[in-house]
A and B are shown apart, each in its own frame.
Chain A
Amino acid sequence: MTLTNTPRLLIVAVAAVLALAGCAGTTATSEPNATVEPAATTTAAAGLTISDPWVKAAETGMSAAFGSLENASDTDINVVSAASSAATMIELHETVEDDSGAMIMQQKEGGFIVPAGGSYELAPGANHLMLMGLTAPLTAGVEATFTLTLSDGSTFEFTAPAKDYSGANENYEETDMDMDMDK
């Protein structure tokens, strides 16, 4: 990791995260033991923001979260896992074409890479955060908080409002029968 960011720049970056996200509050955190010299070190989470986050409303079972991850740093950011109190498990999914030409969802090997100075779209029918085992009804307007863990161990937190959405009914490779996220 390059150590180019001064603490002042880090503060500016965090402020920019809050400003960009508007109603959906976001915070970037670093693990306390991850830095020996805080004054001269920055984390991957410091360069990460998300714009327009939202999650599909669902009563039970599964859902998916979307938004545009943006990397303001000059180093690629690798999202390796995600968690939320709204679901017992979250997977990082991609949607790909299988041998028969059908679009299926599967876990993204190695997680999401948000390119340096670029963005990574999470959208219905494409890459997304897959929520499994909803802990409570995710009804429209409820805000869910997500924590992304990055490859350097730092974490990035954001909240996303639930919206009613009739799409995002992708199929799964793992099962014999098609599963509908509405069910």
Chain B
Amino acid sequence: MLSDQTPSAGRRLSRRHLLLGGAAAGIGAVGAVGAVGIDLATNSNPPVVAEPLNGTHTVPFYGVHQAGIDTVPQSNATLIALDLHAGTDAATLQRFMKILTSDAARLSQGEAALADSEPELAVAPARLTVTFGFGPGLVALAGGTAPSWLRPLPAFGVDQLDPAWGDGDLLLQIAADDSLTVAHTTRMLLKDSRSFATIRWVQRGFRRAPGSVKPGTTMRNLFGQVDGTVNFVPGTPDFERLVWGAAENPAWLHGGTGFVLRRIAMQLDKWDKLDRSGREASVGRTLSNGAPLTGVNETDDPDFDAKTAIGFPVIPEFSHLRRARSENPDERILRRGYNYDDAPTGGSVSHSGLLFVSFQADVDAQFVPIQRRLDELDLLNEWTTPIGSAVFAIPPGCAAGGYIGDTLF
């Protein structure tokens, strides 16, 4: 799975590193030892073991849960909603999901899909994941019972929703640390969708490129804010209960979860008028490292009782942090969002925002109360507008030989 366009200097370097690595591990063949000897004689640099190429990393496809939820967020994501053709029946839907599952399973492991016209684009999976979500229409078509929360979110006062960015029958979340991999996977899945569905919307998002900052660093949005502090950690009881839990969800959804996408336009030009202290007050966190205004480090607990010298709360009552935080520990969600930065239109110079993505076992019990509080009061609303909204049920993963959604039929 090495790059097919490695510059010759790089290739020589890689070969040397591999040879040295092999020799150091005590498996150097006679030829390799000879090559090392020559190399050392002509190069005084200390030996370095080559890091595996970023593109070679893979995330398992098959499993109890779908990938792309507890996966450390990749740098690039394309979210797609499809509408099933009128007249689609359950048997057709099964065929569709088998094809998409096969494509996703193969591409995520760096194998070309069946009938892949560009197999050379499949060789660098770069942690590719494809996550499928079902809208209420699809669940009904399959004859399944939808969870009570699988419906459009209640209307919020701040919303200015454009139906062009909302809802859908089938969600595809395609994410990888390589935008060419995302593009090829998107192409393959959409080619295989033509007989079954049409595109409702496509939303592309990005984070920092892999290797730019330390792995695990919370992402920054285009306001410059640290965005997504205090997230569940995979494998913890919180993650199990609040992402994979919800025993009241229908049986076919066990091992799955709920998905919310909010397309949030960010008025960067208006944000520019706000000074640094105003920006920090609006969210209740510092811009430098995302620490609460009462703390030092990003992960410090906020002290909502702390007061300024003249008696005002250090973390303002109207701040995003204060308003988003609930006393009820069940009202929490897994955030996994992406920035978007589309081409400006109509004389503006920015057309940017956030693809707010959250996963939660029960959308009504976990997401909606948070959004209600933010709708009532959140200073950040001055610079942000939800313009798209979609809710999907994320079915569980599948075993090899099965397909995503096989618990529904």
Q: Which residues of A does B touch, CB under 8 Å?
A: 22-23, 52, 54, 56-57, 66, 139-142, 161, 163-167
Q: How far is the CB of A23 from chain B (nearest CB, A)?
A: 6
Of the stretches B139-147, B188-196, B308-316, B339-347, the one at the interface is B188-196
Does A140 lie within 8 Å of B401, measured CB to CB?
no
Does A140 lie within 8 Å of B192, measured CB to CB?
yes
B9, CB-defined interface residue at 8 Å: no
B96, CB-defined interface residue at 8 Å: yes
Q: Which residues of B have CB within 8 Å of A161?
A: 98-99, 102, 114
Q: CB < 8 Å: which of A22, A142, A164, A167 contacts B192?
A: A164
Does B115 lie within 8 Å of A141, measured CB to CB?
no
Q: Which residues of A have CB within 8 Å of B191?
A: 164
Q: How far is the CB of A131 from chain B (nearest CB, A)?
A: 15
Which chain B residue has the least Cβ–Cβ distance from A142? B95
Does B195 lie within 8 Å of A140, measured CB to CB?
yes
Q: Which residues of B have CB within 8 Å of A140?
A: 95-96, 99, 192, 195-196
Top 10 A-B residue pairs of the complex, sorted by shortest distance between their CB atoms: A141-B95, A163-B115, A54-B114, A140-B195, A165-B115, A141-B99, A54-B115, A164-B195, A163-B114, A141-B98
CA distance A22 to B99 in the complex (A): 14
Does A23 lie within 8 Å of B401, measured CB to CB?
yes
CB within 8 Å of A: which B90-121 residues: 92, 94-96, 98-99, 102, 114-115, 117
Does A163 lie within 8 Å of B99, measured CB to CB?
yes
Q: How far is the CB of B188 from chain A (nearest CB, A)?
A: 10
Q: Is the interface of A mostly helix, strand, loop or mixed?
A: loop
Known pairs A52-B114, A140-B196, A163-B114; list 15 more (Cβ under 8 Å): A139-B95, A139-B195, A140-B96, A140-B99, A140-B192, A141-B94, A141-B96, A141-B99, A142-B95, A161-B98, A161-B99, A164-B115, A164-B191, A164-B194, A164-B195
Which chain B residue has the least Cβ–Cβ distance from A160? B114
A-B contact pairs, 26 of them (CB 8 A): A22-B400, A22-B401, A23-B98, A23-B401, A54-B115, A56-B115, A66-B115, A140-B95, A140-B99, A140-B192, A140-B195, A141-B92, A141-B94, A141-B98, A141-B99, A142-B95, A161-B99, A161-B114, A163-B114, A163-B192, A164-B115, A164-B192, A164-B194, A165-B115, A166-B117, A167-B117
Q: By the criterion of a CB under 8 Å from any partner CB, how many residues of chain B are at the interface?
A: 17
CB within 8 Å of A: which B149-170 residues: none
Q: How far is the CB of A153 from chain B (nearest CB, A)?
A: 30
Q: How far is the CB of B233 from chain A (nearest CB, A)?
A: 34
Q: How far is the CB of A83 from chain B (nearest CB, A)?
A: 22
Instruction: Output the residue of B92, B98, B114 with the most chain A CB within 10 A.
Output: B114
Q: Which residues of B does A touch, CB under 8 Å?
A: 92, 94-96, 98-99, 102, 114-115, 117, 191-192, 194-196, 400-401
Q: CB < 8 Å: which of B94, B98, B195 contacts A57?
A: B195
Q: Which residues of B have CB within 8 Å of A167?
A: 117
CA distance A22 to B114 in the complex (A): 13
CA distance A15 to B293 in the complex (A): 63
Which chain A residue has the least Cβ–Cβ distance from B191? A164
Which chain B residue has the least Cβ–Cβ distance from A163? B115
Q: How far is the CB of B62 from chain A (nearest CB, A)?
A: 11
Which chain B residue has the least Cβ–Cβ distance from A141? B95
Which chain A residue has the least Cβ–Cβ distance from B403? A23
Q: Which residues of A have CB within 8 Å of B400?
A: 22
Q: How far is the CB of A160 from chain B (nearest CB, A)?
A: 9
Q: Which residues of A have CB within 8 Å of B195?
A: 57, 139-140, 164
CA distance A172 to B318 in the complex (A): 74
Q: Which residues of A have CB within 8 Å of B117?
A: 165-167
Q: How far is the CB of A142 from chain B (nearest CB, A)?
A: 7
Which chain A residue has the least Cβ–Cβ distance from B91? A141
CA distance A167 to B115 in the complex (A): 9
Does B102 lie within 8 Å of A23, measured CB to CB?
yes
Q: Which residues of B have CB within 8 Å of A54?
A: 114-115
CA distance A163 to B99 in the complex (A): 8
CA distance A54 to B113 in the complex (A): 11
Q: Which residues of A have CB within 8 Å of B99?
A: 140-141, 161, 163
Q: Which residues of A have CB within 8 Å of B95?
A: 139-142
CA distance A101 to B322 in the complex (A): 74
CA distance A54 to B119 in the complex (A): 15
CA distance A139 to B192 in the complex (A): 11
Q: Which residues of B have CB within 8 Å of A141?
A: 92, 94-96, 98-99
CA distance A142 to B98 in the complex (A): 10
Which chain A residue has the least Cβ–Cβ distance from B111? A52
Q: Which residues of B have CB within 8 Å of A56?
A: 115
